[in-house]
Amino acid sequence: MMTNSETYYGIDKWRTVINLISLALISLICGVLILKYRRDYTYLGYIFLILTFIFMFNGIRMINYMTWGKFKHRDRMLDLAQWKGAEKVLDVGVGKGLILIKVAKKLTTGKVTGIDIWSNEDMLDKSKYYINKNIEIEGVKDKVRIKTQNAAAMSFNDEYFDIVLSNLCIHNIEDKVERMKAIDEMARVVKKGGKIIISDSKYMDEYEQILLDKEFKVNVLNGCVWSTYPALKIIEAIKQ
């Protein structure tokens, strides 16, 4: 989806949409054929029709997220912070800059730093190219910094950022110990009284427990079924 005539934030998981719609069509064909030609297996035909509905419903949810839902979800995350304009902000897993650029537009004297490791998948969909292009188009170059950096081993000083954000990033770290380190690092670099806001498709209970163990004040918001796929929860954690 374009936010103006030129910026591009990507089409997320289009293969998932194709798979879901394909499964819906296959289930529909199987269900219709069974109901028409094999009356002795009527129950099986209805099962396939139910599967058709499930696959199609989730395909529509995914399309919603790809087009407008991810922008709505981003805004829902950012609305959890009380913006004054002077904040130092960190975006962990910056991708094409969906969150980073919106944050930059909220800042006056503040700065937002985005980090990523630019995986092979990122290179294939030109994430690094598009984030730089989007930053230039949106006119926020003076308010952002982009760094190639591992979330589990950040170079920033302790208690440096007022707000730390991360959306659909940390679950990509397959090793549990490294995932825990990433959350530890986010907790380390945020200031006392500062806020961590995380949304992810997996391991949210794990993140919540780590932050609770570090005596953060944690609030978990339930995911929205229509605007995200899967329904993405949001963790809001304040450092005490």
Q: What DSSP string describes 175-240?
A: SHHHHHHHHHHHHHHEEEEEEEEEEESS-HHHHHHHHHHTT-EEEEEPPPTTTSSS--EEEEEE--
pLDDT of residue 127: 82
Q: For residue 20, what is the enclosing H or E element?
A: helix 14-37
**Separation of alpha carbons 56 and 121, rounded Å:** 27
Mean local confidence (pLDDT), 42-59:
96
Q: Is 81-239 a domain of CATH 3.40.50.300? A: no
Phi-psi region of 193 (alpha: psi -120 to 50; beta: other; left: phi over 0): left
Range of lowest pLDDT (52-56, 163-167, 225-229): 225-229
What's the rounded Cα separation, in Å, for the pair 230 and 203? 13
Per-residue confidence (pLDDT) for residue 79, from 0 to 100 = 98
- Residue in 71, 132, 83, 133 with CA at minimum distance from that of residue 109: 83
Higher pLDDT, 125 or 174: 174
Residue 7 scores a pLDDT above 90: no
pLDDT at 128: 85
- Give the three-class secondary structure for 63: helix
Mean residue pLDDT of the chain comes to 93
d(CA 96, CA 231): 22
Whether residue 126 has pLDDT greater than 80: no
Residue with tokens 């030129």: 6
Please classify residue 19 by burial: count the beta carbons closer than 10 Å to its beta carbon, then call 0-12 exposed, 13-18 middle and 19+ buried: middle
Give the pTM: 0.88
pLDDT bracket for residue 230 (50, 70, 90): confident
At 222, the amino acid letter reads N
Contact partners, residue 43, CB within 8 Å, separation at least 6:
none
